[in-house]
Structure 1
Amino acid sequence: MECFRIDESGYTGFDLLNADQRFQGASAIAISDEDAARLIKEHFPRLQAPELKFRSLSRRSANHQGLLALQRDLLTNYKSVTYVCDKRFLLVLMFVDYAVEPFYYERGLNFYENGQNYAMASLLTMAGPTLLGQAAFDTMLAAFQHAAKEKTPDALKALVTATRATRWREFPEALGPLAQYAAPECLSAIATPGVNTDAALVVLQSLISRMEVMADGPYRVEHDQSKNLLTYHDLMQRFIDHDQAIEFRQTEIATLKFPLKLSEVTQVDSKTSPAVQLADVMIGAAIEAANNMTGLRSGGLDPEAVMSLYRDDQFIHLIPSVDFEEQRRFRQGTQAAELIDYLAANFSGPREN
């Protein structure tokens, strides 16, 4: 059975405002341990460490060409997908989904039609600090993720107070539902059990959508035993166990259809799995490139060289964009509202035994 190896980077749970880790992502690659070991030996014949770790290798410029050549081989000859998201933008998108959209839904407006939620979240992310006040905007976002986690009356009240403390009249379409009306439908959505700001479900959903397309038939997933990946492991098992027949259109190139072809997920020790080590290289390089391209960090591989290795269907990113016409075209006919409701109902909250 075909096997995809997965690794992640940048996971900080519900805290999407972590300043040290702006980006989160994961990579999946269909490669055997035998092929992976051969490629590691070919590109790093003098490696003495017990396992290949991107972060350690990237620190030395002498390893950069080997890392680029290794990724070129992987992206040319093996099925793979890498997903990277700007966690701050994702948090704003979640704010729009739960603190804004229910207000419009109650008034008969489809806020997700043709990606309108992405357009508003992009504008709010990029212009919000200037329009609303940087400190007040940051405080509002922190209050939102706290309210989504705690769900107490005090936390919800603090969110409304923080929203009103911004210059919300500069963008009433987005902040008016909370600031002007303290809209009960929005507060209820935020307080719904299972709703949270953990990005794992978003990352995994995107990864699985591509693996489902790439896999020729039933396939399995292996990943490292790290604590962060336990959340991904539980979600994948729930996806596997879900046997209801249903399909959702996400974008012009992505759909999600249940039951999945994915049939098994297992944990392995990365020290004994060269293939999992290569997944670490893929996502490590992508996250490093994102940090360098946005000026958050410097050093390591040339980000332009890294990104030039990818075909369009091998890389998924979630970042703000003010090209609203392109967003409208890309997301025309999306079933985003139905998918969000379905995932929240079936895959959020504690797992039933």
Structure 2
Amino acid sequence: MKCFRIDESGYTGFDLLNADQPFQGATALAIDDDEAARLIKAHFPTLQATELKYRALSRRPANHPRLLALLGDLLRDFQSVTYVCDKRFLLTLMFCDYAVEPWYYARGAKFYEDGQNYSMASLLAMAGPVLLGKAELAALLAAFQRAVREKSLQALKDLVAAARRTDWKQFPEAIGPLARDACPDCLSAIAAPGVTTDAAMVVLQSLISRMEVMSDGPYQVEHDQSKNLSTYHDLLQRFIDHEGEIELRQSKIASFKFPLKLTDVRQVDSKLSPAVQLADVMIGAAIEAGMSLAGLRSGGLNPDELLPLYADDQFIHLVPSIDFEAQKEFRRGAQAEQVIDYFSTHFAAKSGRQVG
């Protein structure tokens, strides 16, 4: 049976504003341990460490050609998908989901149609610091994250106050529901049990949508025993156990269908699994490329050499975009509202609502 090895990077739980880890992602790689060990030996024949770790290897420029060659082999010869998101943008999307959309829904507007939520979130992320005030927008997102986590009356009041401290009349479409109206529907959505800013659900939905396409029949997942991956493990098991039958279109290239072909998820010791170690290399390289492109890190692999190695269906990224026509075309006909309703109904107790 096919087995995908998964590893993650950048997971900070509910905190999507962590300055040290602004990107989060995961890789799923279909490779067995024997083949993985062969590739590691071929590209790093003198490796003395007991475990292949991307961060340790990337610190030495002499390792960069070997890492690029290894990644090239993996991306060319083995099925994989890598997902990376800008966590601040994801939080902005969540803000639009909970603090904006209920106001539009009550008025009969189709907020998610053709990716309008992504367009609003992108505009808020890219133009918001100028329109609303950089410090004020940062404070608003922090207050939103806190309100989702605490769900207290005081935290909700502080969120409304933070919205009103922005220059919100410059962007009333996004900030008005809170700043002008203190919209009860929005505040109720934020305070609903199970709503969270934890991004694990979003990451897994993206990986699973591709693993399901890449698998002709039943498949398994293995991952490391790290504390961070325990959240992913629990969600994967819940997906496996879910008995519903439904197929929902998320975008031009992605859909989600239950029941899954995924049948089993297991934790393993990464020191004993060369395949899991290679998943670590793949997500480590992708996250480092994001950091480099954002100007937050230097000295690692050159993103201009790494990113062309990926096929279009091997890399999924969530970042703001003001190419609104392209976003509209990409998300035309997507069933975002139905996806949100389905996941909030069946998985909200632990994971919260999915972001369109």
State the TM-score, normalized to the length of structure 2: 0.98
Pairing 1:44-83 to 2, within 5 Å after superposition: 44-83=44-83
Q: Amino acid of the residue matched to residue 29 of structure 2?
A: I
For residues 13-71 of structure 1, what are the alpha-carbon distances to aligned partners after superposition, in whole Å with 9 as ceiling and x for unaligned?
01100011110000000000000000000000000000000000000011101100000
Q: Amino acid of the residue matched to residue 62 of structure 1?
A: A
Residue 32 of structure 2 corresponds to which residue in structure 1? 32
User: Is the aligned partner of 1:22 residue 2:22?
Assistant: yes
Taking the aligned partners of 1:350 and 1:314, their CA distance within structure 2 comes to 29
For residues 85-144 of structure 1, what are the alpha-carbon distances to aligned partners after superposition, in whole Å with 9 as ceiling and x for unaligned?
000000000000000000000000110000000000000000111110111110000000
Taking the aligned partners of 1:210 and 1:347, their CA distance within structure 2 comes to 20
Residue 195 of structure 1 corresponds to which residue in structure 2? 195
User: Is the aligned partner of 1:167 residue 2:167?
Assistant: yes
Residue 236 of structure 2 corresponds to which residue in structure 1? 236
Taking the aligned partners of 1:242 and 1:32, their CA distance within structure 2 comes to 27
Q: Amino acid of the residue matched to residue 299 of structure 2?
A: G
Q: Amino acid of the residue matched to residue 103 of structure 2?
A: F
Taking the aligned partners of 1:36 and 1:255, their CA distance within structure 2 comes to 30
Pairing 1:179-190 to 2, within 5 Å after superposition: 179-190=179-190
Q: Amino acid of the residue matched to residue 210 of structure 2?
A: R
Taking the aligned partners of 1:41 and 1:86, their CA distance within structure 2 comes to 34
Residue 87 of structure 1 corresponds to which residue in structure 2? 87
Pairing 1:113-132 to 2, within 5 Å after superposition: 113-132=113-132
Q: 1:311, CA displacement in angstroms?
A: 0.4
For residues 143-181 of structure 1, what are the alpha-carbon distances to aligned partners after superposition, in whole Å with 9 as ceiling and x for unaligned?
001000111111111100000000000000000000000
Pairing 1:337-348 to 2, within 5 Å after superposition: 337-348=337-348
SS in 2 for 1:25: strand
Q: 1:338, CA displacement in angstroms?
A: 1.0
Residue 249 of structure 2 corresponds to which residue in structure 1? 249
Q: 1:294, CA displacement in angstroms?
A: 1.2
Taking the aligned partners of 2:164 and 2:316, their CA distance within structure 1 comes to 35
Taking the aligned partners of 2:180 and 2:200, their CA distance within structure 1 comes to 32
Q: How many equivalent residue pairs? A: 351
Residue 331 of structure 2 corresponds to which residue in structure 1? 331
Q: 1:277, CA displacement in angstroms?
A: 0.1
Q: 1:348, CA displacement in angstroms?
A: 2.6
Q: 1:347, CA displacement in angstroms?
A: 1.6
User: Is the aligned partner of 1:218 residue 2:227?
Assistant: no
SS in 2 for 1:189: helix
Residue 204 of structure 1 corresponds to which residue in structure 2? 204
Residue 109 of structure 2 corresponds to which residue in structure 1? 109
Taking the aligned partners of 1:196 and 1:341, their CA distance within structure 2 comes to 15
Q: 1:343, CA displacement in angstroms?
A: 1.2
Taking the aligned partners of 1:335 and 1:149, their CA distance within structure 2 comes to 27
For residues 167-220 of structure 1, what are the alpha-carbon distances to aligned partners after superposition, in whole Å with 9 as ceiling and x for unaligned?
000000000000000000000100111111000000000000000000111000
Q: Amino acid of the residue matched to residue 67 of structure 1?
A: L
Taking the aligned partners of 2:109 and 2:339, their CA distance within structure 1 comes to 17
SS in 2 for 1:221: strand
Q: Amino acid of the residue matched to residue 279 of structure 1?
A: A
State the TM-score, normalized to the length of structure 1: 0.99
SS in 2 for 1:222: strand
Q: Amino acid of the residue matched to residue 174 of structure 1?
A: A
Q: 1:304, CA displacement in angstroms?
A: 1.1
Q: Amino acid of the residue matched to residue 318 of structure 2?
A: L
Q: 1:349, CA displacement in angstroms?
A: 2.3
Q: Amino acid of the residue matched to residue 23 of structure 1?
A: F
Unaligned runs of 5+ in 1: none
For residues 255-285 of structure 1, what are the alpha-carbon distances to aligned partners after superposition, in whole Å with 9 as ceiling and x for unaligned?
0000000000000000000000000000000
Residue 354 of structure 2 corresponds to which residue in structure 1? none
Percent identical residues: 70
SS in 1 for 2:81: strand
SS in 2 for 1:349: helix
Q: Amino acid of the residue matched to residue 98 of structure 2?
A: Y
Unaligned runs of 5+ in 2: 352-356
SS in 1 for 2:349: coil
SS in 2 for 1:100: helix
SS in 2 for 1:131: helix
SS in 2 for 1:257: strand
User: Is the aligned partner of 1:264 residue 2:268?
Assistant: no
Q: 1:340, CA displacement in angstroms?
A: 1.3
Residue 140 of structure 1 corresponds to which residue in structure 2? 140
Give 4+ residue runs of structure 1 displaced > 6 Å after superposition: none
Taking the aligned partners of 2:59 and 2:256, their CA distance within structure 1 comes to 38
Q: 1:297, CA displacement in angstroms?
A: 1.1
Taking the aligned partners of 2:347 and 2:237, their CA distance within structure 1 comes to 10
Taking the aligned partners of 1:108 and 1:85, their CA distance within structure 2 comes to 30
User: Is the aligned partner of 1:297 residue 2:272?
Assistant: no
